[in-house]
């Protein structure tokens, strides 16, 4: 299937809206200036009225190993500030911090597999799950290459960041980027964000941080680019990100073809052997018995 974008069945954008389609918008997250304050997580939870993790907050769960107690993105946590503690020696090391979120992939794996049409692409080129359509089959959870989606235990449907569709559609900035005190999370038109991100990466490299690079900013890269992309200073895996995210449909044609050939072969083998047996029975029945 390659990385060709497949059509979607359920389309929230009317033809009229498409004609006056606004510019694609998204996030650029500069992880080098994230201070791990988690204001974005709190703002997201508040605006989207998301429950606490686990049992709804009746028991506060602590990871016990890190200042990161959110631990993962889920149906209840649409932002997650990752803490990467790199301390090879007691007095030497660094903390990398990264506010993770749905990447609003240009070719979105979750949207590709959703069998109910609950997942749609909005006029802002973002990816949204319609909670009233989703039936919780969880196909999208396994399809997302970034482990973004989870079941929300209040709605019993799959949920994730909507890129604050309810705010952006009335001209407001998403809650997380609005709350971010260092502008680590920046919201805006993708074309502008890319220019800004590239300039920042160059600046960092000139200042000696030669490991600085952009993850997901390339429109010719994996999944047609990510509408939420990052500036990182270590390997993607160090941040818990996949090096080579792919579309799930890469296996569809080959898997179906192999199975169909095998299925056809077995059906033909069964038919031929049964037919052979029937012929033999007919032949035996019509052969006159020898009189000895």
Chain residues 98-127 in contact with ligand SF4, contact rule CB under 6 A: 102-105, 108-110, 114, 116, 118-119, 127
Residues 37-76 that bind other proteins (CB under 8 A): 63, 65-66, 68, 71-74
Site stretch for ligand SF4 (CB under 6 A), options 80-88, 154-162, 265-273, 278-286: 154-162
Number of residues that bind other proteins (CB under 8 A): 81
Residues 198-237 that bind other proteins (CB under 8 A): 235, 237
Residue 272 in tokens: 């031929």
CB of 50 to other proteins, least distance (A): 16
Q: Which residues of 203-241 are buried (b: 16+ CB within 10 A; e: fewer)?
A: ebeeeeeeebbbbbbeeebbbbbbbbbbbbbbebeebeb
Options 21, 156, 196, 203; binder of other proteins; rule CB under 8 A: 156
Which lies closer to ligand SF4 via its Cβ, residue 27 or residue 204? 27
Q: Rounded to an integer, what distance in angstroms lies between the CA atom of residue 52 and that of residue 150?
A: 14
Site stretch for other proteins (CB under 8 A), options 7-15, 183-191, 193-201, 224-232: 7-15
Which of other proteins, ligand SF4, none does residue 104 bind (CB under 5 to 8 Å by kind)?
Answer: ligand SF4
CB 24 within 8 A of CB 190: yes
Numbers of helices and strands, H then E, in the chain? 8, 10
Nearest to 174 by CA among 139, 124, 223: 124
Q: Rounded to an integer, what distance in angstroms lies between the CA atom of residue 3 and that of residue 5?
A: 6
- Strand 127-129, strand 25-30: pairing: unpaired
Which of other proteins, ligand SF4, none does residue 260 bind (CB under 5 to 8 Å by kind)?
Answer: other proteins
Positions touching ligand SF4 (CB under 6 A) are 102-105, 108-110, 114, 116, 118-119, 127, 129, 134-140, 144, 146, 148-149, 157-158, 160
């Amino acid at each position: 299937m390659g990385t060709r974008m497949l059509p979607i069945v359920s389309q929230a954008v009317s033809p009229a809206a498409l004609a006056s389609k606004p510019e694609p918008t998204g996030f650029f997250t500069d992880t080098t200036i994230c201070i791990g304050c988690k204001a974005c997580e709190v703002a997201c939870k508040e605006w989207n009225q998301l429950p606490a993790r686990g049992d709804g907050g009746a028991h506060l769960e602590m990871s016990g190993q890190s200042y990161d107690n959110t631990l993962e993105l889920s149906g209840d946590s649409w932002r997650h500030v990752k803490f990467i503690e790199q301390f090879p020696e007691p007095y030497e090391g660094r903390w990398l911090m990264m506010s993770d979120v749905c990447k609003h992939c240009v070719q979105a794996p979750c949207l590709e597999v959703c069998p109910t049409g609950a997942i749609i692409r909005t006029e802002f080129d973002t990816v949204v799950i319609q909670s009233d359509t989703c039936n919780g089959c969880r196909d999208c959870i396994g399809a997302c290459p970034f482990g973004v989606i989870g079941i929300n235990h209040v709605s019993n449907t799959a949920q994730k960041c909507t890129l604050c569709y309810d705010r952006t559609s009335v001209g407001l900035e998403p809650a997380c980027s609005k709350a971010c005190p260092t502008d680590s999370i920046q919201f805006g038109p993708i074309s502008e964000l890319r220019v800004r991100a590239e300039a920042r990466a160059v600046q960092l490299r000139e200042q000696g941080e030669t490991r600085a690079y952009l993850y997901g900013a390339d429109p010719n890269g994996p999944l047609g680019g990510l509408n939420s992309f990052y500036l990182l200073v270590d390997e993607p895996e160090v941040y818990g990100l996949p090096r080579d995210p792919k579309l799930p449909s890469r296996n569809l044609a080959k898997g179906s073809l192999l199975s169909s050939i095998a299925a056809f072969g077995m059906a033909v083998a069964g038919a031929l052997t049964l037919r052979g047996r029937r012929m033999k029975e007919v032949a035996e029945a019509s052969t006159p018995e020898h009189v000895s």
